[in-house]
Chain A
Amino acid sequence: MLYREAGQFKTTYAADMAVFPIRQDRMALYLLLAVAFIGVPLFAQLHIWPFGGDYLIRAILVPFLILALAAIGVNILVGYCGQISLGSGAFMAIGAYSAYKFGTGVHIPLEWLGSEISIPPLPLVASILLGGLMAAFVGVLFGIPSLRIKGLYLAVATLAAQFFFDWVFLRVKWFTNYTPSGSVNAPELSFFGWIVHTSTERYLLCLAFVTIFAFLAKNLVRGNLGRQWMAIRDMDIAAELMGIRPLYAKLTAFAVSSFMVGVAGALWAFIYLGSWEPLAFSIDRSFQLLFMVIIGGLGSILGSFLGAAFILILPILLDQVPHALGIPISVETVSLLVFIITGMLICYLLIVEPHGFARLWSITKEKLRLWPYPY
């Protein structure tokens, strides 16, 4: 009843092209943003349930936001441009380690020139964004093979990135500033003079990043570039004949995708983990991101959020629900069950609903518009 667009006339082209053309959608979005930006910190400050401790924010909301950002990046590449990637974990690692190097000062001795390159430690935001840029650069490098190969072949090329960078960050001590254990600590999180300490502050910082990049991504995929990507995805030869340059379209997809994944990696390392080792960005992470995209919805920004939420919450649910019901279940069984359920869900969704949860959501909205008289 409430979800009706009757009487909402579009009088300008801008209104016609809006991201959310229906007023109720806009209201819902503003409400969601208000809750996320004001409500959650307020609740956490006042210790109102469920924000009593900082568990919910620290262990669920912060990783959810960061992984959702990474999933948006992967979705741009896999869902919008149709280039499958199994190396997203590596690009997260590149973002994280580059941001770490920029945040702690880069120092490259050039002995044969008798000089050196020295960059002083950069502020937090700059190093995170530069981390993203480095990831974008490497992403373009590994995207070059996509001009000749595709599909399964490309998957192997991206696997090469994954294994190569796993090794680089483990073995090349320069990246870890020669720490003996190989694990590194994030520099102090100083954001324009504001030192980020508490979980709520970390949450707000992530939220700001994710909101900005989600809007950027949403507008990119609606525009010229996004349409080029989708044309390439749907049929690359036909797209080329229509005048879309595959070189430009594919490499921009790789660059934008890797940039977002890299920023997410830097956030993951700096804000969520605090101290980390290369294992945090192994191939498991790549699969996790790919699954978020498949389950959430290929080619949908909303789907990236839904998929990230699902993949993150599934193990927690499997851990908590049997406990609450009094069924003893070991940690190992939970992790194996997560494997099985994720796998089954992927097969099920690919067969029944290839566009994932996002499509279910839009079907719900469609039904809601007609309710209670479906005809």
Chain B
Amino acid sequence: MIVVGQVLEVLIGGLLAGVLYSLVALGFVLIYKASGVFNFAQGAMVLLAGLALVRSLDFMVARGAPTWAAIALGLLFAAVIMAICAWIVERYVLGPLVNQDGLTLFMSTIGVTFILEGASQMIFGSDVYPLRLFPTDAWFVAEGLFPGGILVNKLDVWGGLIAGTLVAGLAIFFQNTKTGRALRAVADDHAAAQSVGIPISWIWFVVWLVAGLVALVAATVWGTKLGVQFSITFLALKALPVLIIGGFTSVPGAIVGGLIVGSGEKLAEVYLGQHIGGGIEYWFAYVLALAVLLVRPQGLFGERIIERI
């Protein structure tokens, strides 16, 4: 017996959880679009940003700073850390690897992942740090329509709002600013972009910085949900099937993919999981991505993959 209200509740919970995946996936898409690098380190960047934020926040609150000032300074500090990280990655890893094939770049970002995971935990500590930026209490909506209403977590709603704002902001940045246009030019053909005078290393720094800031935003939401801890990097891996489904090159694809993965895995867990043993959330997204790959390798919104010899 499946109750409509219950299905809706699971669906909405899943959709909103999917927004969180989208937040991480956005960072991947940005870097992929602008530099053709598949940035495996996005999850580690979320961890770094989260740790920098929560540790500086705790530090200032413990010394009696007012909460709003602590949050503002904490965000600023984390943003500076992400900028430093972006600079180091561009200067020492991707700069020297320019013109290498995608596989090499991908493996180098796995290396970056390990450096970031090790360094961030060494500097900021490796416990679970609770973060309280958004309300996390439950919220009942549509009580008139269904008996008992639908339970929604306020944090998930905040996550949705933030993701929406972020996408809008990024769209404006990409379409209407000079840097944004330069970014798109570099994405198209970096040699041609360079020849018309676009400073490529600066552009890549900007891309990594923007991805770092997206990681920071993701970290605020993820950290409030789970506490800032190492396992965030594994959850961030879920962004990969999101990308496969949505397409590597599409910002809306990242959002839609996240929604599909989030709602799909929650529905599967609730209605399929009980038949074949629980915990299928763990792999459902990946197998879904595998199925999509077989049918439509470029994803739902991705550009068609064309190869030339």
Pairwise interchain contact B115-A343, C-beta atoms closer than 8 A: yes
Nearest chain B CB to A281 CB, angstrom units = 14
Nearest chain B CB to A255 CB, angstrom units = 19
Nearest chain B CB to A330 CB, angstrom units = 11
Question: How many of chain B's residues touch chain A, expressed as a range?
Answer: 35 or more
The complex places the Cα of A337 from the Cα of B117 at a distance, in Å, of: 10
Nearest chain A CB to B30 CB, angstrom units = 15
Question: How many of chain A's residues touch chain B, expressed as a range?
Answer: 35 or more
The complex places the Cα of A351 from the Cα of B100 at a distance, in Å, of: 9
Pairwise interchain contact A149-B293, C-beta atoms closer than 8 A: yes
Name which of B93, B107, B241, B309 has the most chain A CB atoms within 10 A of its CB. B107
Contact mask for chain A residues 165-190; partner B; CB cutoff 8 A; 1 contact, 0 none? 01100111000000000000000000
Pairwise interchain contact B93-A347, C-beta atoms closer than 8 A: yes
Pairwise interchain contact B286-A163, C-beta atoms closer than 8 A: yes
Nearest chain A CB to B107 CB, angstrom units = 6
Pairwise interchain contact B293-A153, C-beta atoms closer than 8 A: yes
The complex places the Cα of A151 from the Cα of B293 at a distance, in Å, of: 13
Chain A residues with Cβ below 8 Å from B111 are 342-347, 350
For the complex, is B240 an interface residue (Cβ under 8 Å from A)? yes
Pairwise interchain contact A294-B107, C-beta atoms closer than 8 A: yes
For the complex, is A354 an interface residue (Cβ under 8 Å from B)? yes
For the complex, is B164 an interface residue (Cβ under 8 Å from A)? no
Given contacts A148-B293, A237-B307, A336-B126, contact A156 B106 (CB under 8 A): no
For the complex, is B224 an interface residue (Cβ under 8 Å from A)? no
Nearest residue (CB) in A for B243 is A156
Given contacts A156-B286, A160-B283, A167-B283, contact A350 B107 (CB under 8 A): yes
For the complex, is A24 an interface residue (Cβ under 8 Å from B)? no
Pairwise interchain contact A350-B97, C-beta atoms closer than 8 A: yes
For the complex, is A339 an interface residue (Cβ under 8 Å from B)? yes
**Which of B38, B96, B237, B297 contacts A159 (CB under 8 A)?**
B237
Question: Contact residues of A with B, CB < 8 Å?
Answer: 82, 84, 145, 148-149, 151-153, 155-157, 159-160, 163-164, 166-167, 170-172, 235, 237-238, 283, 287, 290, 294, 332-333, 336-340, 342-347, 350-351, 354
Task: List 5 additional A-B contacts (Cβ < 8 Å) besides A337-B122, A351-B108.
Answer: A159-B240, A160-B283, A163-B283, A171-B278, A340-B119
